[in-house]
A and B are shown apart, each in its own frame.
Chain A
Amino acid sequence: MEEILETYTATELEHVKVWFKAASTKDFPVDGGACIKYKDKQIAVFNFARLDKWYACQNVCPHKMEMVLSRGMIGDDKGTPKVACPLHKKTFSLENGENLNGDLEAIATYPVKIENDFVYIGFSE
């Protein structure tokens, strides 16, 4: 199952080659997330309205390899924006993907930009 993780690698803004036009901003809940599909990838996208920021990361939780993170609740851990997995409440930083309440592998995060009310996710391939 772990091979799923290899599909996802953290992508820095300077390595973005493709800005994938995912969906309208209205398709995402305020201060919540939803999942988008890009090629064979599932990406969780979060509209962190309280911070006026958008975040994207892999949808698969590295704990049990299930495609669920987009359905998790978001919030902050002492100021760090985070998502909590709906299965076992493992929490991950939305900024660098780090597991905040355990020692799981960090999740891959992706850059997001908003243009004309559309959400774009940056990929290196």
Chain B
Amino acid sequence: MFIFIKTHKKYVILRIFVSKYQIIVRMKTIIVVGNGMVGYKFCEKFVAKEESKNYKVIVFGEEPRPAYDRVHLSEFFENQDAKALEMAPAEWYTENDIELIVNERVTDIHKTTKKITTAKDREFSYDYLVLATGSSAFVPPIKGVEKEGVFVYRTIEDLEGMLDYASKLKSKNANAKAAVLGGGLLGLEAGKAVMDMGLEPHIVEFAPKLMPRQLDSRSSQVLQLKLESIGLNIHLSKATNQILGDKSIVGMEFGEDDVLDVEMLIISAGIRPRDELGKTCDLEMGVRGGIVVNNKMQTSDESIYAIGEVALYNQMIYGLVAPGYDMAGVAVDQIIGEAETLMPEEIDMSTKLKLIGVDVASFGEPFMPASKGHSIIFENKTQHLYKRINVSLDGKSLLGGILVGDATDYSMLHQVYLNGMAIPEDPAQLILPASEGGAAFGDVMDLPDEAQICSCESVTKGQICAAIESGEATDIAGVVSCTKAGTGCGGCKPMLADLTNATLKSLGIEVKEGVCEHFDLNRQDLYKIIQVKEYKTFNEVLDNHGNGGHGCELCKPLIASLMASINADTANKEYAIQDSNDRFLANIQRNGTYSVVPRVPGGEITPDKLIALGEIAKKYDLYTKITGGVRIDLFGATLNQLPLIWKELIGHGFESGHAYGKSLRTVKTCVGSTWCRYGMDESVSFGIELENRYRGIRAPHKIKGGVSGCIRECAEARGKDFGLIAVEGGWNLYVGGNGGATPRHAELLAEQIDNETVIKYLDRYLMFYMRTAKPLQRTAAWQERLEGGMEYLKEVIIEDKLGIAVDLEKEMETLVNKFECEWTQAINDPEMMKRFSHFVNSEEEDDNLVFVPMRDQKMPEPWN
């Protein structure tokens, strides 16, 4: 028995197990031209079909990599990780017997002989040809558009080119400006990319409003206000006459005296279908481009299909992922003979996205003539909120709508619209805030089974529930992997989570997220229990709420931290349950010695104190280094030396820096208006005040702060858990940033607030984080996963939506007032001091330590 494949003729002898019969089956070949998201989706849907094994699939892509997620292209600017955007790795194609040919463009189609030719002059035969060539950026014919520094926003290569150019610009001019031509959906995405590249962003739009296809003028104004408030400059009704500059761009000219100086331009003025192949082989084309298809996705040649942004269906090019995926599904079914699958007449163009942290959504018919129905509009410009719904004349059904600023209601409204569900008698309830007479309308469980939850992957509520009910999926990750819901644009994820949890609940399944084998409770539950029951020891918590074991290195330090957060205990209490560093109030280093970091609030230190540090370091022969948080770290102290060193440090007025704790580290400051000629406020004074306020407080993870005296941001405050930047009229307060493995900029919580308000909001924010985060979760990760995001956080912290602000402030006040330096505590208590000796039966030190010299100091012998 053997298999025989002759590549270009495609005659295959299939292996037959039954008997001596050998049947020769002619295997059909499908060639897919284009390996973007839709081309990939075609392959994915195709291999899922039983019949696919009777076909050979060859995919051509002109880009050098496998298909990637273009919808989330702007994420590339955050992580520059092209791999993370991949739809599937190259191996996926091999595993599924698909031949993927990248870097080779298809140049011609010979309809009569059913062959294609590539740029490398190779020929391939097909039985079915699927054109998924997508679109390219439309470059308007503006004079000077070919100049250096003008880019389009389309592929990873475009992005790499931009990054390169931007970094060159910035090295010459730190305040360089860049413009985006086009204020549509993609243009605003590109605007975010410009911000992420650190250039001053400008959006230039020809129309008098932003996102002209999705928004009405009022919502566009609200969006504009919001975007301007975060630093985007918006220029509407501007027709660009020419691009200025000799070799490279230096500006854009709109009118005679109307010029915008920019050193870089990103064109995002719409898309044009990549339909050249259709033209060369004489397929029926649209007047303004696009290959005409019928509802089977067939072109004028019945063996040639077109899907995605190259296909002109009902005289329209659909630039969204969901219809593209649907087209791929129709083409797959048509090719294998499931003729009844057709593209629907009407295509849902609803979209929801987060633009630079701002929710924008539109669904159904966003703009509706008054003759067709009534509109209900809710607008709050001070909060950058706009909601509009369009209701039928009889008031019974929802026809469409627009949401800007807060799109939490989108999933539900979209479902109500799609499924023609009944709406309340007063439709205003659908969009009014609950406090103003709005009612929580609609529960996910009320949706009909056929309601489409994920429109990208066409997954219905029924399919999701079935996956959970059959036991195939037991959590959200499981639902995602077995239904593919949520893998497209990701917009349905919140609803997916609600649906999964509600379904699990309806089945009586509890969602377990215990901290370790000793507790089924999560950190938040334990927090509440310890607070309410006023437990004071680990054993009390374990005996009353544990699973009968004896604890471990996960739950012990967690409960120690919770009791410290709640009772303002120092780490000296019940030291055996503290993490090793907290137990010895120092940071353990590679060889089991410790490092010592005294607190230097705000980084301000007198010469005398600096000398004292130097002398102590010299006396105990400690390796000395300035830390990443601009404090002074003394390394190589033995356990026995720790109290001796601290006695001296405390004698010189130092106190513990808590570098070893999951607690406030340092508040980094720039010199501020005290000395700096640009300073707007006293960043050092305020930094010291904040550091002294929050010192010693135990949290889920370490906390760092920063205070900058002006927008030059020398203290890198936006890279900290909390950061302040002095501006005209007060401080801008940013929260949830960090460096580390996944760097993240802090987000703006409040603007132009005074010192007192900063402290009020920070007290609430930190306490809210301490109450609700997971173990070892930094503020950045916590904030990112906070349902409702930044808007919700603002509601809780600023507007006190949950009515807990007073409690949060009170709890923080208690912690602040109870602060005690734990090192001072330790060295004044002979019982505590016993902890700091290497042997309990000898005064000797660890004889295993070996140090070697390094750059005039010492280091532990390297590990082998």
Contacts and interface: CB of A to CB of B under 8 A. Distances in A.
B848 interface: yes
Interface string B540-575: 000000000111110111000000000000000001
Interface string B828-864: 0000001100111110101110000000000000011
B65 to A, nearest CB: 37
Given A73-B576, A79-B549, A67 B839 contact: no
Given A23-B841, A67-B848, A87 B592 contact: yes
Contact of B550 (A36, A60, A75): A75
Nearest to A76: B550
Interface in A5-30: 22-23, 27-30
Contact of A76 (B549, B581, B835): B549
Contacts of A65: 848, 863
Interface string A49-85: 0110000000010001111100111111111011010
Interface stretch (B79-87, B208-216, B398-406, B583-591): B583-591
B539 interface: yes
Contact of B577 (A4, A28, A73, A86): A73
B473 to A, nearest CB: 27
Interface residues of B, number: 37
Size class of A's contact patch?
35 or more
B580 interface: yes
Given A50-B539, A89-B553, A72 B840 contact: no
B549 A30 contact: no
Contacts of A89: 553
A91 interface: yes
10 contacts: A23-B841, A27-B840, A29-B576, A30-B576, A34-B839, A36-B842, A73-B557, A73-B576, A75-B551, A77-B517
B550 A81 contact: yes
B275 interface: no
Interface of A: 1, 4, 22-23, 27-32, 34-37, 40, 42, 45, 48, 50-51, 60, 64-68, 71-79, 81-82, 84, 86-87, 89, 91
Given A75-B556, A86-B588, A60 B848 contact: yes
Nearest to B834: A27
Given A27-B834, A29-B575, A66-B591, A37 B848 contact: no
Nearest to A34: B840
Given A29-B575, A75-B553, 13 more contacts: A30-B576, A31-B577, A51-B550, A65-B863, A66-B592, A67-B848, A71-B580, A73-B577, A75-B556, A77-B517, A79-B549, A84-B553, A86-B588
Contacts of B691: none
Contacts of A71: 580, 583-584, 588, 592, 639
Given A22-B841, A29-B575, A32-B576, A76 B552 contact: yes
B864 A86 contact: no
A64 B550 contact: no
Nearest to B593: A66
A98 B193 CA distance: 53
B248 to A, nearest CB: 52
Contacts of A73: 552-553, 556-557, 576-577, 579-580
Given A71-B583, A73-B553, A78 B517 contact: yes
Contact of A50 (B550, B579, B583, B846): B550
Given A31-B576, A36-B840, A60-B848, A77 B592 contact: no
A76 B113 CA distance: 73
